[in-house]
Amino acid sequence: MSLIFNPLTNWFSKQFFHHSSMAGYLEPVIQLFKPSWRDGYYRAKVLSVTLIANKTVALELKTESRWPTHQAGQHIELTIDINGRLSTRVFTIASSPNQAMHEGVIRLVIKQQDAGLFTPFLSRLTVNAWVNISKPKGTFLLPQSNAVSLFAAGTGITPFIAMLHQALHEVAQPIHLFYYAKPNAHLLVAELESLSNRLPNFTFTLLSRSIDGDVVKKLPDCHNTHWMVCGPNDFHKTIRDYALMHQQSLSSEHFSLVDLHSTGDEKAHFQVDHGGIKFSADNQQPLLAQFQANNINVPYGCGMGICHQCQCVKKKGVVRDIRTGKLSDYGEELIQLCVSQVVSDVEFKA
C-alpha cells in the first residue's frame, strides 16, 4: 500500500505545498513530538560533550537503530538548533564502524572556531539532547592492499583514527602515520600510542612544521606506498603537487575557507548545482531569474520574497539576501530564490 500511497501524497505535496514529500511539509508539527526530527534524516541523542584539548570537543552520539553503519573514513552532516534556527556542518566520524554496529555510538572530534557560526555552540549541547545526522557519506576509505602512508594535519587526524580502530578487527597492511600539528597540540595522542601497541604493523610520527620543516621533506621516503592525506588546503596542495610530479597514488580529503565575493559592486560568477544540473550564475541578478534563464523549472510566486513559493533547500554555499544584504550560513538551510544572490559556489537540493 505504501508503494502507492507515498508517491501519491508526495505528488500532492509537490503540487500544492511545494515540498518534495508530505512528511517534509509536516516537519515543524512532527518536531513538536520528536525534537530534531527531519524528513529523510536520522535523530541521534547526545551522550557526552567533552573538551579534550584547547578549543576541541569530542561529541559522543547514540544513533537510531535504523541509521546505516558507516565505513571508517566517512563523514556525516550534523544539524543542531541554534537560537531556533537549524544549522548544519559536515564532520568526519572519529570512531570505528565496529563500535557503531555493536553499541550504536559514534564520536565526532571538532575544532571550535572563535568566530564560527556553528562550532562555538557545540559546547552548549547537553546530555540527552537530540541532534540530527545524515546517513554516512564519502569514499575516503583505507585500501585493502599495499602499504599505506597517512598524512594528517590538525583535526585531519579524525578519519585515520576511525580507520586504525577498525583495523583492530581486520587484517591490516603496514601503515605509517605522519601527523602534523603545532608543538604540543596533537590530538588523541594516547589513543595513537595504544593503537600502536595493539597493531603490529602500525607506527606513527608526531611532527610540527616549526621544528621539523615542511611535509615535503618526508615525502621522498614514502614511495612504494599508497598515500592518504587529510588536512587544510595548503597541506593537501603541497602533497598533491608532489604526488602529481612523481606519479604517486594518492587519495585525500581537505578543508578550506569558502571563497566569498560579498561585495555587490564587482560582477563575479559562481557555479550553481541544482541536484546535479550545473550552471554559472552571477552575483548581480536574483537566483530565480537565473534558474529560469537556464530552463530549470522551480516553483515561484510573487517574486518579492513574500509568498515563499520559491523557497528551496540550499545544501551548501553562501547567498546574500537582496533585501537586507545579510549573508547566509554556509551549511544547509531554506532560502528564497527570488530574493537571493550567490556570493560563492552553491549547491541546492532538487
From 221, 253, 285, the end of a domain falls on 253
pLDDT value for 115: 73
Same domain (yes/no): 126, 153: no
Domain annotation covers residue 28: no
Same domain (yes/no): 245, 153: yes
Q: Which three cell numbers stand for residue 276?
A: 546535479
**What is the CB-side half-sphere exposure of residue 223 using CA atoms within 13 A?**
7
pLDDT value for 36: 67
pLDDT value for 264: 53
Q: Where are the beta strands (DSSP E) in the chain?
A: 42-53, 56-63, 75-82, 85-92, 105-111, 130-133, 148-153, 175-180, 202-207, 226-232, 250-255, 269-274, 277-282, 311-316, 319-321, 333-336, 340-342, 346-348
pLDDT value for 23: 66
Q: Which three cell numbers stand for residue 205?
A: 610520527
Domain annotation covers residue 115: yes
Same domain (yes/no): 69, 129: yes
From 225, 253, 281, the end of a domain falls on 253
Same domain (yes/no): 163, 104: no
| Cα separation, 281 vs 269, whole angstroms | 5
Domain annotation covers residue 20: no
Q: Which domain holds residue 340?
A: 269-348
Domain annotation covers residue 264: no
Same domain (yes/no): 157, 240: yes
pLDDT value for 157: 96
Domain annotation covers residue 94: yes
Report the domain count for the chain.
3
Same domain (yes/no): 154, 126: no
Same domain (yes/no): 115, 196: no
CATH of the domain at 228: 3.40.50.80
Domain annotation covers residue 92: yes
SS3 call for 231? strand
Same domain (yes/no): 218, 159: yes
Same domain (yes/no): 169, 224: yes
Domain annotation covers residue 9: no
Residues with Cβ < 8 Å from 299, sequence gap 6 or more? 18, 309, 310
pLDDT value for 173: 85
pLDDT value for 38: 73
pLDDT tens-digit profile of 245-266? 999 988 887 665 555 555 556 7
- Give the distance, in angstroms, between the CA of residue 285 and the centroid of all CA atoms in the same chain: 29
From 253, 287, 315, the end of a domain falls on 253
Same domain (yes/no): 241, 329: no
pLDDT value for 257: 53
CATH of the domain at 91: 2.40.30.10
pLDDT tens-digit profile of 48-69? 999 999 899 999 999 999 999 9
Same domain (yes/no): 152, 128: no
Same domain (yes/no): 299, 328: yes
CATH of the domain at 306: 3.10.20.30
pLDDT tens-digit profile of 170-206? 867 899 999 999 999 999 999 999 999 999 999 999 9
Stretches in the chain below the pLDDT threshold 70? 1-29, 32-33, 36, 171, 254-265
pLDDT value for 265: 64
